[in-house]
Structure 1
Amino acid sequence: MKHPSFAIAVTFEIKPEHRDAFLQRVLQQASDSVRLEDGCFQFDVLVDEDNPNIVFLYETYADAAAFDTHRATDHFADFSQQVADWVASKTLRRLVLQETPS
């Protein structure tokens, strides 16, 4: 079984009036990504305990190429277009797994 070696951490600040719609749509995006993409292992949606307008995504992929494939999917394009006006800010970090020596 292949294991993920690449992760994405995304922090969104959502405009308050769009929070519920964003959460519904991002949960669908998470489901679609894991279900439709062989290279997507995990797609967690988390909400900040102190500020419900901060949404954090943690996604793991087989490798960076699998993430690039994710970004090229129709469901990613649809999600990005649909939520664009709902987002006040967004930061994305690309993370590479560091394995312990054998």
Structure 2
Amino acid sequence: MTHALLVDFQIHPERAEAFAEAIAHNAQRSLGDEPGCSRFDVCRDPADPGAFFLYELYDDPAAIEAHLAAPHFLAFDAMTRDWVVRKSVRTRVLVGA
């Protein structure tokens, strides 16, 4: 059963470009280094450059836990933590997968 991780970020305006680069790198590493990650899309609101939405697909809850423990994710999280105004994380199960 495929699990979706849905993440909304609101980033301080002065850090939005740096965050865009950091999250793109994190997505690339997640797809390349994590066998349980099959999709990692980064979306950005054109009307609000500090608003980001992530759509990530993982094989199972263990793959999500592996992602959260991955060195590249931990480095990303530590580097960007103070740039975040607001963050929302939800998980869902993909229907029909």
User: Structure 2 length as normaliser, TM-score?
Assistant: 0.95
Letter aligned with residue 40 of structure 1? C
Task: Supply the distance in 2 between the matched residues of 1:10 and 1:25 (Cα, whole angstroms).
Answer: 15
Structure with the higher strand share, 1 or 2 = 2
Matched residue of 2:10: which SS?
A: strand
* Number of residue equivalences: 97
Q: Percent identity?
A: 39
Task: Supply the distance in 2 between the matched residues of 1:72 and 1:81 (Cα, whole angstroms).
Answer: 12
In structure 2, list runs of 5 or more residues that go unmatched: none
Deviation at 1:98, TM superposition (A): 2.1
The equivalent of 2:81 in structure 1 is 84
Please list the CA deviations of residues 53-79 of structure 1 after superposition, one character each: whole Å capped at 9, or x if unmatched: 100000001111111111111111101
| Larger Cα-atom Rg | 1
Large movers: runs of 4+ above 6 Å: none
User: Structure 1 length as normaliser, TM-score?
Assistant: 0.90
In structure 1, list runs of 5 or more residues that go unmatched: none
The RMSD of aligned alpha carbons is: 1.3
